[in-house]
């Protein structure tokens, strides 16, 4: 590589060498050589990437969040090339040496920055492209495709086009599989709208020989992206333009001609990005269609168009299903951590509430009974295998989305009031549960579970789906203002009043009251349960007891695992769990002078900062979008707490049932009821099985550890068994380090403390790394103690990630069996920027104490 220049123009002969300019750059260079209309530009070669990587590793490798340094001579060469191009607005795109091959595309994995219009932004965009080689999505993609490491990355800098229409052409129909057919997907403005799935485009099906248009399908085309002096801006498309096709027959046939030339040259089906500028076709990219017939079931489908990447309809469907199945697996693993048999029936009812919404959208989700299955030993497994999609999903999905978006989140107070009236009616009936016969108890239980499922359905329809869409719009506006990377969703909620924030503030006040009443030493010395037992012995304790129960009346339905209807327990049922949190807060406050903050830092006012940078026409939209985001968040949090309140009533009913079974001698202990399936409980109430039921419970109790392992394996959160630890620092990190999703940036080290549930909260000390299966809002106070967080489940948008970013500590989530592979007391290092956990040394190793004597145990390493 010594003779390779740092910059190559697309017209240079060597630019067609993918080892120098990457797959994308080499393809564009070849297309220009064919005389095809490719915008002028140049490539920063892979040599620059490799030199920067070596410098980064040598000089700043300890701080994984540091940007790539430019190798000597690159900055001046880059700016000279930009001057030669005329300093226009440019598109800056990554081009990996392993991209755009026939079997691997890496489509959508690396960074693209559009509308770059000054030299400083250009330098930042190049660094962003380089850094994307190690992003969570690229790392996960390579892991799934068993690609050992990131290939060198080139960066393409091209003059931006300003198209009237743009989109994607597949030279083979990926739906029908016909070889003599092609498909065009098109919409107004820049092609990112189509490539990123931001719009429902027009779809045209064409025949190659003789060239003709076979069918037309009008898309919604609700918005468009365009290049302006202020960058790339999203605007609404007028109703008139939405209702007409964006391409005519002549334009389609010219596109087809370009596609046929590319297919003939490359000798295989092509996936072509194009733009129509002043009536002329401009070619932006051409790549082979990957994972055709005979490809892997896990074929690459990361391009987010409605057509997929594959020429084979079967491979396209398989890859789409694989992606959806992984999303289901990750979501269920986070929200249903190791369910007991009794949880299964309620979990299926919740799934049914969500799948009803998905079915209306034409997405054909799996049936709850097929998704969640329990065996005779009480092991529950997740089977997220999706059937084929409904053929009408392209039209039904937008309709469901449109209805969700039309819902006004400001109506949440009225909706909550109506739900609470239903909750109050059911609660009054639950209060009289001792008077009800078995049949009435079961009917009441069904009503309560149905009410919780109804809330979940509305949660998804009115709050979660619109929030995801609104988040994309809000972050898009922040990116337009040039602050996309500096704005986080949680910044919008800091001063917002919602149930989780109020509950967290309430626990903080209770901690203050423990101190003010002189009870702190007793709580920390005796522990939560003895502390609660002794409260009535002193006037101060009696006063605190009253304040505690006032808090529990308002927020006591909060549970450690809110979607586990029966095996989870709330603060009202187990107040010792809440006192464990308060004790953790007190230890965190005591540790604060050592350098740890007690809570989230106060951020800058990002709302006003973004508004100041936006052009005047977009400011009102920005404020509306932020206000809607905040209102949706209030509803999202409120619906979750309502589900917890309904489940609290469900447990009161089930406790009554369990007590009756225990009195009859069918259970040794009422607590054993969680080891029975719902149908078994119902049969036991009407047809007592005596010793047979007791033996069943004993067998499942003995097999509980294997059942938990089976669940984690089915969710993909364990691979390799619990006997494996995390690799030592001296080992090959790329091969044996524990990897997960980078979810909160930074690097920290400290002793690992494996916390499996609320009963373990009191074990976490200041400066330790919290290692857990998942977190939910009830875990928040632990973040004031932890140096970092590692979790089996979750991702960058989960609760743990959001709270970790608020507290400024690194988080690695979705880590492969973290709670099984990390040993309690190990000294570990957490790199939340790249999603890696490394063991420094095991508990008991002399180097642990040596490291701690150097001050590493507070976790503040930058």
Per-residue pLDDT of 174-196, as tens digits, reads: 545 566 788 898 999 998 888 76
Question: What pLDDT does 792 receive?
Answer: 82
Kindly report the CATH number assigned to the domain that includes residue 13.
Answer: 3.30.1490.20
Contacts of 74-80 with CB under 8 Å at 24 or more apart are 74/6, 74/44, 74/48, 75/123, 77/6, 77/7, 78/6, 78/7, 78/44, 78/122, 78/123, 78/126, 78/157, 79/119, 79/122
Do 698 and 844 lie in one domain? The reply is no
CB neighbours of residue 185 within 10 Å: 23
Q: How many CA atoms lie within 13 A of 24 on its CB side?
A: 32
Higher pLDDT: 853 or 806? It is: 806
pLDDT band of 591, cuts 50, 70, 90: low
Look up tokens 């979705």; give the residue: 814
Q: Answer whether residue 319 is part of any domain.
A: no
Helix (H, G, I), strand (E, B) or coil at 755: coil
Does 393 have pLDDT greater than 80?
Answer: no
pLDDT band of 655, cuts 50, 70, 90: very high
Q: Which helix (H) or strand (E) holds 693?
A: helix 691-702
pLDDT band of 376, cuts 50, 70, 90: confident
Does 60 have pLDDT greater than 50?
Answer: no
Do 361 and 488 lie in one domain? The reply is no
User: Which stretch, 93-97, 133-137, 590-594, 791-795, has highest mean pLDDT?
Assistant: 93-97
Do 149 and 207 lie in one domain? The reply is no
Q: Are strands 827-831 and 811-813 parallel, antiparallel or unpaired?
A: unpaired
Question: What pLDDT does 737 receive?
Answer: 77
Q: Answer whether residue 317 is part of any domain.
A: no
Q: Answer whether residue 2 is part of any domain.
A: no
pLDDT band of 596, cuts 50, 70, 90: very low
Q: Answer whether residue 722 is part of any domain.
A: no
Do 789 and 758 lie in one domain? The reply is yes
Q: What does the H/E/C string look like for 575-590?
A: HHHHHHHHHHHHHHHH
The stretch 469-496 carries a mean pLDDT of 83
Query: What span, in angstroms and rounded, lies between the C-alpha atoms of 710 and 383?
Result: 12
pLDDT band of 816, cuts 50, 70, 90: low
Do 117 and 203 lie in one domain? The reply is no
Q: Answer whether residue 725 is part of any domain.
A: no
pLDDT tens digits for 737-758? 788 888 888 899 899 999 888 7
| Domain range enclosing 189 | 165-311
Kindly report the CATH number assigned to the domain that includes residue 827.
Answer: 3.50.30.10
Beta-carbon contacts of residue 88 (< 8 Å; ≥ 6 apart): 117, 159, 160
Question: What pLDDT does 319 receive?
Answer: 53
Does 351 have pLDDT greater than 50?
Answer: yes
Query: What span, in angstroms and rounded, lies between the C-alpha atoms of 211 and 596?
Result: 69
Exposure string of 690-702, with b = 16+ CB inside 10 Å and e = fewer, is eeebeebbeebee
Kindly report the CATH number assigned to the domain that includes residue 234.
Answer: 3.30.470.20
Do 50 and 30 lie in one domain? The reply is yes
Do 484 and 509 lie in one domain? The reply is no
Q: Looking at 596, 614, 645, which one is the last position of a domain?
A: 596
Of 77-91, 207-221, 501-515, 544-558, the poorest mean pLDDT is in 207-221
CB neighbours of residue 418 within 10 Å: 10
Do 22 and 111 lie in one domain? The reply is yes
β-partners of residue 188 are 165
Confidence (pTM): 0.59
Do 464 and 609 lie in one domain? The reply is yes
Domain count, the chain: 6
Of 298-302, 356-360, 635-639, the poorest mean pLDDT is in 298-302
Measured in whole angstroms, the distance separating CA 712 from the mean position of its chain's CA atoms is 18
Does 560 have pLDDT greater than 60?
Answer: yes
CA-wise closest residue to 563 among 643, 459, 637: 643
Q: Answer whether residue 15 is part of any domain.
A: yes
Of 439-443, 731-735, 807-811, the poorest mean pLDDT is in 731-735
pLDDT band of 58, cuts 50, 70, 90: low
The stretch 812-831 carries a mean pLDDT of 86
CA-wise closest residue to 842 among 857, 858, 859, 827: 827
Of 40-49, 139-148, 498-507, 569-578, the poorest mean pLDDT is in 139-148
The stretch 77-95 carries a mean pLDDT of 94
pLDDT, mean over the chain: 81
Do 277 and 189 lie in one domain? The reply is yes
Of 350-364, 502-516, 532-546, 846-860, the poorest mean pLDDT is in 846-860
pLDDT band of 590, cuts 50, 70, 90: low
Peptide bond into 210 cis (omega under 30): yes
Does 298 have pLDDT greater than 50?
Answer: no
Q: Answer whether residue 322 is part of any domain.
A: no
Task: Say if residues 618 and 476 touch (Cβ distance below 8 Å).
Answer: no
Do 148 and 33 lie in one domain? The reply is yes
Query: What span, in angstroms and rounded, lies between the C-alpha atoms of 679 and 94?
Result: 55
Q: Answer whether residue 765 is part of any domain.
A: yes
Task: Say if residues 157 and 92 touch (Cβ distance below 8 Å).
Answer: yes
By CB atoms closer than 10 A (0-12, 13-18, 19+), residue 524 is middle
The stretch 440-458 carries a mean pLDDT of 94
Helix (H, G, I), strand (E, B) or coil at 158: strand
DSSP 317-347: HHHHHHHHHHHHHHHHHHHSSS--TTHHHHH
Question: What pLDDT does 301 receive?
Answer: 32
Q: Which helix (H) or strand (E) holds 287?
A: strand 280-288
pLDDT over 70, % of the chain: 79
pLDDT band of 631, cuts 50, 70, 90: very high
Does 711 have pLDDT greater than 80?
Answer: yes
The stretch 424-436 carries a mean pLDDT of 96
pLDDT band of 317, cuts 50, 70, 90: very low
Of 128-142, 394-408, 718-732, 843-857, the poorest mean pLDDT is in 718-732
Question: What pLDDT does 561 receive?
Answer: 85
Do 488 and 503 lie in one domain? The reply is no
Does 805 have pLDDT greater than 70?
Answer: yes
pLDDT tens digits for 225-262? 888 887 778 888 888 898 899 999 999 999 999 999 99
β-partners of residue 711 are none
Of 4-8, 332-336, 406-410, the poorest mean pLDDT is in 332-336
């Amino acid at each position: 590589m010594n003779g390779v220049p740092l910059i190559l123009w697309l017209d240079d002969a060597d630019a067609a060498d993918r080892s120098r300019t990457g797959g994308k750059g080499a393809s564009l260079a070849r297309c220009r050589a064919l005389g095809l209309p490719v915008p002028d530009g140049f490539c920063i070669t892979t040599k620059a990437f490799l030199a920067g990587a070596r410098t980064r590793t040598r000089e700043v490798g300890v701080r994984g969040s540091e940007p790539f340094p430019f190798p000597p001579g690159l900055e001046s060469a880059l700016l000279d090339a930009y001057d030669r191009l005329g300093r226009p607005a440019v598109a800056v795109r990554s081009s990996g040496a392993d991209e755009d091959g026939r079997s691997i595309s890496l489509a959508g994995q690396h960074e693209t920055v559009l509308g770059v219009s000054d030299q400083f932004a250009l330098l930042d965009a190049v660094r962003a492209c380089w850094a994307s080689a190690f992003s969570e999505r690229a790392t996960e993609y390579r892991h799934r495709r068993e690609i050992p490491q990131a290939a060198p990355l080139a960066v393409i800098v091209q003059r931006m086009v300003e198209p009237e229409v743009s989109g994607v052409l597949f030279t083979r129909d990926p739906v029908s599989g016909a070889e003599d057919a092609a498909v065009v997907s098109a919409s107004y403005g820049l092609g990112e709208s189509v490539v990123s799935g931001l719009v429902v485009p027009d779809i045209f099906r064409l025949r190659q020989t003789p060239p003709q248009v076979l069918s037309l399908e009008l898309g919604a085309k609700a918005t468009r992206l365009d290049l302006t002096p202020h960058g790339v801006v999203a605007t609404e498309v007028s109703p008139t333009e939405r209702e007409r096709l964006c391409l005519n027959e002549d334009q389609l046939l010219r596109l087809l001609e370009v596609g046929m030339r590319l297919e003939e040259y490359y000798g295989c089906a092509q996936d072509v990005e194009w733009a129509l500028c002043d009536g002329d076709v401009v070619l932006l990219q051409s790549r082979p269609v990957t994972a055709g017939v005979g490809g892997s079931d896990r074929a690459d489908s990361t391009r987010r168009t409605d057509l997929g990447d594959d020429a084979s309809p079967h491979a396209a469907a398989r890859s789409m299903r694989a992606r959806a199945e992984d999303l289901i697996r990750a979501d269920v693993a986070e929200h249903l951590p190791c369910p007991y048999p009794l949880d299964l029936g309620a979990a299926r009812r919740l799934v049914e509430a969500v799948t009803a919404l998905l079915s209306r959208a034409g997405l054909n989700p799996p049936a709850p009974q097929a998704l969640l299955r329990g065996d005779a030993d009480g092991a529950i497994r997740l089977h997220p295998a999706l059937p084929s999609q409904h053929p009408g999903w392209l039209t039904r999905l937008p309709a469901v989305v449109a209805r969700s978006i039309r819902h006004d989140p400001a109506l949440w107070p009225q909706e909550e009031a109506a739900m609470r009236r239903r909750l109050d009616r059911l609660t009054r009936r639950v209060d009289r549960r001792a008077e009800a016969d078995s049949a009435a108890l079961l009917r009441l239980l069904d009503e309560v579970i149905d009410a919780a499922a109804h809330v979940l359905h509305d949660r998804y329809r009115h709050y979660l789906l619109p929030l995801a869409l609104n988040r994309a719009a809000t972050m898009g506006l922040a990116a337009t203002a040039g602050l996309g990377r500096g704005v986080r969703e949680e910044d919008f909620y800091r001063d917002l009043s919602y149930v989780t924030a109020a509950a967290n503030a309430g626990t903080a006040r209770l901690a203050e009251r423990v101190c003010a009443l002189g009870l702190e030493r007793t709580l920390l010395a005796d522990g939560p349960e003895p502390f609660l037992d002794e409260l009535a012995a002193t006037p101060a304790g009696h006063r605190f007891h009253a304040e505690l129960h006032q808090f529990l009346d308002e927020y006591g339905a909060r549970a450690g695992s809110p979607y586990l209807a029966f095996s989870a327990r709330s603060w009202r049922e187990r107040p010792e769990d809440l006192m464990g949190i308060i004790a953790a807060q007190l230890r965190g406050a005591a540790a604060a002078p050592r350098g740890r903050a007690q809570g989230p830092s106060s951020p800058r006012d990002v709302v006003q900062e973004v508004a100041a940078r936006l052009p005047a026409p977009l400011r009102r939209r920005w404020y509306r979008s932020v206000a809607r985001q905040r209102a949706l968040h209030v509803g999202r949090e409120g619906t979750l707490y309502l589900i917890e309140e309904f489940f609290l009533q469900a447990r009161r009913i089930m406790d009554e049932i369990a007590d009756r079974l225990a009195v009859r001698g069918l259970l040794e202990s009422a607590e054993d009821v969680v080891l029975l399936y719902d149908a078994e409980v119902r049969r036991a109430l009407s047809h007592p099985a005596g010793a047979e039921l007791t033996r069943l419970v004993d067998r499942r109790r003995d097999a509980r550890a294997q059942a938990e392992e089976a669940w984690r394996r089915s969710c993909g959160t364990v691979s390799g068994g619990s006997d494996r630890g995390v690799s030592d620092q001296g080992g090959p990190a790329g091969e044996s380090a524990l990897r997960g999703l980078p979810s909160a940036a930074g690097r920290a080290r400290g002793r690992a403390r494996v916390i499996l549930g609320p009963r373990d909260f009191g074990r976490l000390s200041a400066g330790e790394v919290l290692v857990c299966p998942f977190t939910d809002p009830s875990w928040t106070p632990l973040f004031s103690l932890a140096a970092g967080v590692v979790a089996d489940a979750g991702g960058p948008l989960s609760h743990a990630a959001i709270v970790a970013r608020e507290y400024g500590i690194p988080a690695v989530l979705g880590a492969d069996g973290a709670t099984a592979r990390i040993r309690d007391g190990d000294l570990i290092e957490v790199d939340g920027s790249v999603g890696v956990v490394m063991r420094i040394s095991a508990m008991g190793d002399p180097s642990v104490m040596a490291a701690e004597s150097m001050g590493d145990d507070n976790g503040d390493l930058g």
